[in-house]
Amino acid sequence: MELVTIDDVRSAAERIRPHVLRTPLLPARWGDAERPLWIKPENLQAIGAFKVRGAFNAIGAVTERTSGPVDVVAYSSGNHAQAVAYAAATFGLRAHIVMPEETPNVKVQATRDLGARVVLCGAGEREKVADEILAETAGVMIPPFDHPDVIAGQGTIGLEIAEDLPSVRTILIPVSGGGLASGIGTAIRALCPQATILGVEPELAADTAESLREGHRVDWSIHDRNRTVADGLRSQPSALTFAHLQRVLDGIITVTEDEIRSAVRELVYRGRLVAEPSGAVTLAAYRNAATPPGETVAILSGGNVEPRMLEQILADPR
Amino acid sequence: MELVTIDDVRSAAERIRPHVLRTPLLPARWGDAERPLWIKPENLQAIGAFKVRGAFNAIGAVTERTSGPVDVVAYSSGNHAQAVAYAAATFGLRAHIVMPEETPNVKVQATRDLGARVVLCGAGEREKVADEILAETAGVMIPPFDHPDVIAGQGTIGLEIAEDLPSVRTILIPVSGGGLASGIGTAIRALCPQATILGVEPELAADTAESLREGHRVDWSIHDRNRTVADGLRSQPSALTFAHLQRVLDGIITVTEDEIRSAVRELVYRGRLVAEPSGAVTLAAYRNAATPPGETVAILSGGNVEPRMLEQILADPR
């Protein structure tokens, strides 16, 4: 299997530069003295999550390979939906986003507001519906993580960290489908070989931790994975991302639901940043696991939290 | 009266560069089409507010003028206290911060945690107490706004805006003692002469709006000014800052308490940023006043909000 290379990540950085925020690496004076902490605030991206990086790189690559407009298709109920809609609109392309019927209306509307056509589908139908749209439109599918261009796009975060803090000792990255950790890990392995690269999963959706221990992908039921409050971390790696994770990760830390909620609160009051639970798992790991001493970067992957959930977490983080 | 110049601001930028975050200018896709919006997120500074810029410039200038260590003295119950404590500790200097007895303990402790000596004083005593400490220690006073080095330090925000968005059409700046608006205004007048520079005050502490209309400083009672939820905007300009404001401001917008609270909420959910009420007045002005068309920058000056207040605002912004 061919893995993404540092050159792919560098090409992605060139491609997305005009469209994506180069986030600062924020020094968090409130970290431990022996593990100085920096936050990489991807919640500040235009749609509130790192997903724009992969989407702009994948769609940008499509536009380079094709002449004339092409439709793009994606299925997602989360941040990938808005990222694809936003990137497609920027390139003047039509986007078709397949979403489950139970998607909260606010997310459907946000995706439509970005100019996309939203197609609602029943449970288990999303691939069939997406395939039909692909056939009708002769379009291109932009998957949320299972694609080299998406992985390379997310990897640009690693490039920026290597530029801003080349002596980094530990990097903490949320793991769901694994595209983010695959990309960042690829960049950091190449540029900061001294760094320890750790994935972070909720205890309630720790399929990748188990898979890495077993040496092959282990399936957790979607029922089990849906238990975590971190709704962006309920996917599982593909063969492609799992191969990257086996290569680049030094380990995976799991965190509890209470630890995640406390981390959301800490980011609000000490970091002045709004994180969704999935984006706060890395601070939860920093606070509750024995990570290595030295300069530490926690990836804050996104900030799209439902108002009611944030209010509840702030009122009672445990 | 000698006013701060663009050269003073440029010198300040050199002086504070190693110590202060160069904040990104965040594009806010959720602004109006005819007034594209950017946020300057000074809440992401180490102590959660722009005040570090003035403090590092003023204390840095002191260290250049003196040989050997010198004590620094400030009186403040707000963000200036922590900014001076933090900057003094960075330069290895002892800081004495005079605070009113009624200062919330969390702010006293935060200032002590930064290594400062906190001296509590009764109502109306702060200048006397600070003068005594100055005499005892042969130290240097770092005022919150009434000093050219402080003004020049805050002005570095304007330099950064001019670099990142030279075509800016409108800049919205919170006004309290006026140091922030004096500094930014000085930089923008010099570098972006096309820009309209607007101060923003709470309706309940609109002394500067009235003073500019009258052409001289008008005193509002502290009882009146204390009515606003924007507790960082309860000071009044000095002769020095008022002279700058008369020169650099094109006008002042006033906003209501409800507008401020709604803006805090909007920054959380659309900007994924935590603002204190004083820091959100500029977005309140953008949303509720007829500001000029064209590219607009709102200064988010700080993010130090009491948990109970933020929870209340999120639960019920009006």
pLDDT range class, residue A244, cuts 50, 70, 90:
very high
For residue B85, is pLDDT > 90? yes
Distance separating alpha carbons of residues B140 and B150, to the nearest angstrom: 13
How many CB pairs below 8 Å do chains A and B form together? 66
Residue A139: pLDDT band with limits 50, 70, 90: very high
- Between A24, A41, A269, which is nearest B307 by CB? A269
The whole-number average pLDDT for the span A207-212 is 98
What would the pLDDT profile of B42-75 be if each residue is shown by its tens digit? 999 999 999 999 999 999 999 999 888 899 999 9
Region B293-309 average pLDDT: 96
Q: Which pLDDT value is given to residue A77?
A: 81
Q: Which domains does chain A have, with CATH numbers?
A: 6-49+147-315 (3.40.50.1100), 71-138 (3.40.50.1100)
Identify the pLDDT of residue A70: 94
- Residue in chain A lying closest to B22 (CA): A24
Using the predicted structure, report yes or no on whether residue A68 has a pLDDT greater than 90. no
Q: Kindly indicate the confidence band of residue A229, based on its pLDDT and cuts at 50, 70 and 90.
A: very high
Enumerate the residues of chain A whose CB falls inside 8 A of the CB of residue B310: 268, 314
pLDDT in tens, B225-235: 999 999 999 99
Q: What is the mean pLDDT of the segment spanning A187-192?
A: 98
Kindly report the number of other CB atoms within 10 A of residue B196's CB atom.
18
| Helix and strand totals (H; E) in chain A | 13, 10
Q: Tell me, what's the pLDDT at B25?
A: 97
CA of A257 vs chain B CAs: smallest distance (Å): 21
Helices (H), A25-167: 51-65, 79-90, 105-113, 126-137, 148-164
What is the pLDDT averaged over residues B171-186? 98
Tell me the catalytic residues of A. 51, 301
Which residue in the set A22, A269, A311 is minimally distant from B314, CB to CB?
A: A311
pLDDT of residue B186: 98
Cβ–Cβ gap A24/B44 under 8 Å: yes
| Phi/psi at A283 (5° precision) | -70, -35
Q: Residue B124 — pLDDT band, cuts 50, 70, 90?
A: confident
**Which residue in B44, B268, B304 is closest to A26 by CB distance?**
B44
Q: Residues A39-61: pLDDT tens digits?
A: 999 999 999 999 999 999 999 99
ipTM of the complex: 0.95
Per-residue pLDDT tens over the stretch A145-178: 999 999 999 999 999 999 999 999 999 999 999 9
* Per-residue pLDDT band at B316 (split at 50, 70, 90): confident
Residue of B nearest to A38 (CA): B46
Residues of B in contact with A272 (CB under 8 A): 43-44, 48, 273-275, 303-304
Confidence band (pLDDT; 50, 70, 90) for B308?
Answer: very high
Average of per-residue pLDDT values in chain B: 96
- For residue B17, the distance in angstroms to the closest alpha carbon of chain A comes to 14
For A262-301, how does the pLDDT look when each residue is reduced to its tens digit (9 = 90+)? 999 999 999 999 999 999 999 999 999 999 999 999 999 9
Tokens of A41: 């605030």
**Hey, CA dihedral for A258, A259, A264, A268, is it positive or negative?**
positive
Determine which of A111, A272, A313 to mutate to test the interface with B (most B C-beta atoms within 10 Å).
A272
Beta strands in chain B (DSSP E): 26-32, 35-41, 72-75, 95-100, 117-121, 140-141, 170-174, 196-202, 251-255, 296-300
Distance spanning both ends of chain A, measured CA to CA? 43
Mean pLDDT of the A206-217 span:
98
